[in-house]
Amino acid sequence: GHINPAVTFGLFLARKVSLPRAVLYIVAQSLGAIIGVALVKAFQKTLYTKYGGGANELADGYSKGTGLAAEIIGTFVLVYTVFSATDPKRNARDCH
């Protein structure tokens, strides 16, 4: 299965997942993330507070545009990798 909303969206765009199924997957993935954060907050309050709840932020010297570009590129690489690894047309001799 896929546990990332970006991968789910990519599979939807590639018509490998229907719209209703994609929506349900994304809702379930988001709820899982929320429940995970709630569990960390409940059982590791000190670490949760120390690390700002795990929220990402830009380092000094980087603009919002640079951060957005990094997220877009990273997401593209993730989805491309998943699509490459699961391509049924790819056979064992293509593996290195």
Given this model, what pLDDT does residue 48 score? 92
Query: What span, in angstroms and rounded, lies between the C-alpha atoms of 19 and 2?
Result: 15
The token pair at 59 is 């380092």
Q: Quote the Cα angle for 34-7-15, to 5°.
A: 125
Given this model, what pLDDT does residue 52 score? 86
Number of domains the chain is built from: 1
| Identity of the amino acid at 96 | H
Buried b (16+ CB within 10 A) or exposed e, 56-83: eeeeeeeeeeeeeeeeeeebeeebeebe
Given this model, what pLDDT does residue 86 score? 83
Domain that holds residue 45: 5-94
The list of the chain residues with pLDDT below 50 reads none
Given this model, what pLDDT does residue 84 score? 87
- Shortest CA distance to 4 belongs to which of 68, 57, 67, 80? 80
